[in-house]
Amino acid sequence: MNIVVCIKQVPDTTEVKINPVTGTLIREGVPSIMNPDDKGGLEYALQLKDKYGAHVTVITMGLPQAEAILREALAMGVDRAILLTDRKLGGADTLATSSALAGALRTMDVDLIITGRQAIDGDTAQVGPQIAEHLDLPQVSYMEDLQYNEATKTFTIKKQLEDGYQILEMQAPCVVTALASSVQPRYMTVSGIVTAFDKEVEVWGADRINVPEEHIGKAGSPTSVFKSFPKQLKPAGQTFEVSPEEAVELIVNKLKEKHII
Amino acid sequence: MNLAEYKDVYVFAEQRNGKLQNVALELLGKARELADANNEKVVAMLLGKDVKALAPTLIEHGADKVMVVDHDLLKDYMTEPYTEAITAIIESEKPSIMLIGATTIGRDLGPRVSARNRTGLTADATKLEISDDEAHEFRMTRPAFGGNLMATILCKNNRPQMSTVRPGVMQKMAADKGRKGEVVDYKVNFDEKKIARVKLVKTVKEEKTVTDISEAKILVSGGRGVGTKDGFAKLEALAKELGGEVSSSRAMVDAGVMPADRQVGQTGKTVRPALYMACGISGAIQHLAGMEESELIVAINKDKFAPIFQVADLGIVGDLHKIVPMLTERLKTMQK
């Protein structure tokens, strides 16, 4: 079984702080990490490797420094790592990103493609299903468990819903998008870290993927950012430092004023 | 692509087990506003099995036309048949704008449809508008970078211009029983071989013990300052007195004090109740993203520098463990 896991390097958005005086974002010193849902997906792949001897490849599209997360994946135990990086791929929205990744995946023999459900810097949850569509493969998103049935070459997948879950059966080859919350990714091992730095990270350019230029990068992106701006918080009301008795009075009066009580 | 051929605002009318999802009606409310700005129609796409009876509700909430696709293959949501049906509608009807609820269903369907039709999809927009200049551009604004930034997105040269919207973000219109609209049956030729690649074995509903917090009119919400289950009991007593529900920050969910379906914020639910009472919640940006649209925000926190005070209409620097029980008692005596 050949598994490819698509991973992304993201800024750790939970570490982002807001300057309390100016109300703007402090970007400096925000660490880069492997996107949590992708790491969850990678753990599922490695479990299938443990159980069935699956061959696991990780691929990321990004800047050259994204090599760091590929090294981390190698140290966790993956067999092959690919960095898809090229100026021509820059400025891509989700559709152009998925087109490029699908192009890379098309050159490989794959039974299962795993992506994270969404990346914490964009929260779009689009790239996984879009890859599936470009490759004309079936998909199950929001995966929180998966089992492989060797005899039928099918996967049994538990899909999270808002008010419960579904069990689905899907034929290989196929695409799943994984949730981080459902699995505990393994740590890098010491020997893994050592071998990770001996292993090669393959660097691919746009010429390797055979996707028309009008489908990748900025040219392949139907959406564009018109403007971005710091979140406007509504003007603050009044804050009082008073005794509990007075606090209760203030709250009761406010609730009356707004016809809550 | 001749952009002029594309018109009208289409809404995916999500239903589950024959029950329309609230987000569908919320999207119709917003679609009405967008369509009116361009003198266009609002069209609801209703997919399922034996769901035609839901069409009048969609018209009452703002649809001019309901396209019903009724088929056995659409009984439960499945990616492929739903994508095929929506794609057929896009190809024959040429919608200008398409809105989909950002539910687990909509976030599975939206990207698949956008890729099949090679068009843009904005995820989880919080603001949708038609620019008031001559261009009449459709502008979709969404949080980015974990809710720390807002980005306004355009989809200039591709149609439909698609966006998902989280439940609870837009407001539905009051039902107007007198509204007139057209109901059309729409036939789709499905690719059964392709559809057979995924089989639904079963859907399991997990018992929900409490009402959905995104539908509560009053929320008493607790954070790290509440600390324990005993602390939340004080909040529950107050919520009961106010006729509301208890919700939570992420910290208390991660700590196992509160269940995940009570979580407000970027990774939890978006709420906009009439009253949001934030007790012991510092107000991380991810939390604010989920509640700042509340009509009235009252915050109680020991730390006078807590960011929650920047969005609160009334802020109290003090000990919630004293104030909340006193407030509950006060409300009790007022009712007598």
Confidence of residue A5 (pLDDT cuts 50, 70, 90): very high
Is the CB of residue B330 less than 8 Å from the CB of residue A252?
yes
Radius of gyration of chain B (CA): 22
CB contact under 8 A, A161 and B104: yes
Q: Which of residues 42-61 of A touch B (CB under 8 A)?
A: none
Q: Which two tokens stand for residue B253?
A: 């969910």
Confidence of residue B336 (pLDDT cuts 50, 70, 90): low
CB contact under 8 A, A261 and B331: yes
Is the CB of residue A195 less than 8 Å from the CB of residue A76?
no
Question: Across residues B297-323, what is the average pLDDT?
Answer: 95
Q: Is A190 on the interface with B (CB under 8 A)?
A: no
Alpha carbons A116 and A8: distance in angstroms, whole number: 9
Q: Which two tokens stand for residue A154?
A: 């099918």
Q: Which domain holds residue A163?
A: 2-215
Is the CB of residue B109 less than 8 Å from the CB of residue A212?
no
**Which residue in the set A138, A225, A244 is minimally distant from B326, CB to CB?**
A244
Alpha carbons B238 and B246: distance in angstroms, whole number: 9
CB contact under 8 A, B119 and A222: yes
Q: How many CB atoms lie within 10 A of CB A68?
A: 15
Q: What is the pLDDT of residues B255-294, one digit of tens each?
A: 889 988 899 998 888 898 989 999 999 999 889 988 988 9
**Amino acid identity for residue B262 in this structure:** R
| pLDDT of A26 higher than 80 | no
Confidence of residue A118 (pLDDT cuts 50, 70, 90): very high
CB contact under 8 A, A238 and B315: yes
pLDDT score at B4: 93
CB contact under 8 A, B152 and A227: yes
The total of structural domains in chain A comes to 1
Q: Does residue A257 lie in a domain region?
A: no
Instruction: Identify the closest residue of chain A to B273 by CA–CA distance.
Output: A260
**Amino acid identity for residue B78 in this structure:** M
Q: Does residue A235 lie in a domain region?
A: no
Looking at the whole model, is its pTM more than 0.95? no
Which of these, A216, A10, A236, lies nearest to A120 by C-alpha position?
A: A10
Instruction: Identify the closest residue of chain B to A26 by CA–CA distance.
Output: B148
Question: Could you tell me which residues come within 8 angstroms of residue A34 by beta carbon, excluding any fewer than 6 positions away?
Answer: A7, A8, A9, A10, A42, A69, A72, A73
CA distance A106 to chain B (A): 16
Chain B environment of A248 (Cβ under 8 Å) = 323, 326-327, 330
Alpha carbons A4 and A57: distance in angstroms, whole number: 5
**Which residue in the set A121, A134, A248 is minimally distant from B326, CB to CB?**
A248
Alpha carbons A47 and B46: distance in angstroms, whole number: 40
Radius of gyration of chain A (CA): 23
pLDDT score at B75: 97
| pLDDT of B137 higher than 70 | yes
Q: Is A151 on the interface with B (CB under 8 A)?
A: no
User: Sign of torsion, CA B123 B129 B133 B138?
Assistant: positive
Question: Across residues B69-84, what is the average pLDDT?
Answer: 98
Chain B environment of A133 (Cβ under 8 Å) = 83, 111-112, 115-116
At residue B77, φ and ψ (nearest 5 deg) are -65, 125
Phi-psi region of A29 (alpha: psi -120 to 50; beta: other; left: phi over 0): left
Q: Does residue A167 lie in a domain region?
A: yes
Chain A environment of B209 (Cβ under 8 Å) = none
Q: ipTM of the assembly?
A: 0.89
| pLDDT of B151 higher than 70 | yes
Residue with tokens 């976030």: B107
| pLDDT of A23 higher than 60 | no
Instruction: Identify the closest residue of chain B to A244 by CA–CA distance.
Output: B323
β-sheet bridge partners, residue A202: A82
pLDDT score at A12: 82
CA distance B166 to chain A (A): 12
Q: Which two tokens stand for residue B261?
A: 């379906």
Alpha helix segments (H runs only) across chain A: 36-52, 67-76, 94-106, 127-134, 190-196, 244-257
| Second CATH level (architecture) for the domain B213-335 | 3-Layer(aba) Sandwich (3.40)
Task: Give yes or no for a cis peptide into A173 (omega within 30° of 0).
Answer: yes
Phi-psi region of A136 (alpha: psi -120 to 50; beta: other; left: phi over 0): left
| pLDDT of B209 higher than 70 | no
Which of these, B194, B124, B261, lies nearest to A160 by C-alpha position?
A: B261
Alpha carbons B234 and B67: distance in angstroms, whole number: 49
Spell B143-182 as b/e; 16+ CB within 10 A means b: bbbbbbbbbbbbbeebbbbbbbbbbbbbebbeeeeeeebe
CA B126 to chain centre: 9
Which of these, A31, A26, A34, A27, lies nearest to A5 by C-alpha position?
A: A34
Contacts across the A-B interface (CB distance below 8 Å): 259
Q: Is A129 on the interface with B (CB under 8 A)?
A: yes
Q: What is the pLDDT of residues A125-169, one digit of tens each?
A: 999 999 999 999 999 999 999 999 999 999 999 999 988 899 999
Q: What angle do CA B174, B177, B180 make, to 5 degrees?
A: 110
Q: What is the pLDDT of residues A229-256, one digit of tens each?
A: 877 666 778 999 999 999 999 999 999 8
Is the CB of residue A138 less than 8 Å from the CB of residue A200?
no
Strands in B149-155's sheet, in edge-to-edge order, are A223-230, B149-155, B138-144, B127-130
CB contact under 8 A, B309 and A236: yes
Chain B environment of A125 (Cβ under 8 Å) = 107, 111, 123
Q: Is A113 on the interface with B (CB under 8 A)?
A: no
Q: What angle do CA B189, B107, B267 make, to 5 degrees?
A: 165
β-sheet bridge partners, residue A103: none
Instruction: Identify the closest residue of chain A to B117 by CA–CA distance.
Output: A133
Chain B environment of A180 (Cβ under 8 Å) = none
Cβ-defined contacts of A186-190 (< 8 Å, 24+): A186/A43, A186/A46, A186/A76, A186/A77, A187/A76, A188/A72, A188/A75, A188/A76, A189/A75, A189/A77
Which of these, A111, A64, A98, lies nearest to A84 by C-alpha position?
A: A64
CA distance A32 to chain B (A): 13
Phi-psi region of B211 (alpha: psi -120 to 50; beta: other; left: phi over 0): beta
CA distance B20 to chain A (A): 15
The domains of chain B are located at 3-195, 213-335
Q: Between the CA of residue A12 and those of A29, A30, A172, B125, B242, what are the distances in Å? A: 10, 6, 33, 22, 38
The verdict on domain B3-195 having CATH code 3.40.50.620 is yes
CATH number at A18 reads 3.40.50.620
Question: Could you tell me which residues come within 8 angstroms of residue A98 by beta carbon, excluding any fewer than 6 positions away?
Answer: A126, A127, A130, A131, A133, A134, B111, B115
Chain A environment of B152 (Cβ under 8 Å) = 225-228
Q: What percent of chain A has pLDDT over 90?
A: 75
Confidence of residue A205 (pLDDT cuts 50, 70, 90): very high
Chain B environment of A174 (Cβ under 8 Å) = 197-198
Q: Which two tokens stand for residue B132?
A: 């008031």
Asked if B3-195 and B213-335 have one fold, the answer is: yes
Confidence of residue A93 (pLDDT cuts 50, 70, 90): very high
Q: Does residue A157 lie in a domain region?
A: yes
Q: Does residue A224 lie in a domain region?
A: no
Q: Which two tokens stand for residue B203?
A: 């859907």
Alpha carbons B257 and B300: distance in angstroms, whole number: 19
pLDDT score at B25: 97
Q: Between the CA of residue B139 and those of A127, B126, B169, what are the distances in Å? A: 22, 11, 16
CB contact under 8 A, A226 and B318: no
CA distance A91 to chain B (A): 14
Instruction: Identify the closest residue of chain A to B166 by CA–CA distance.
Output: A124
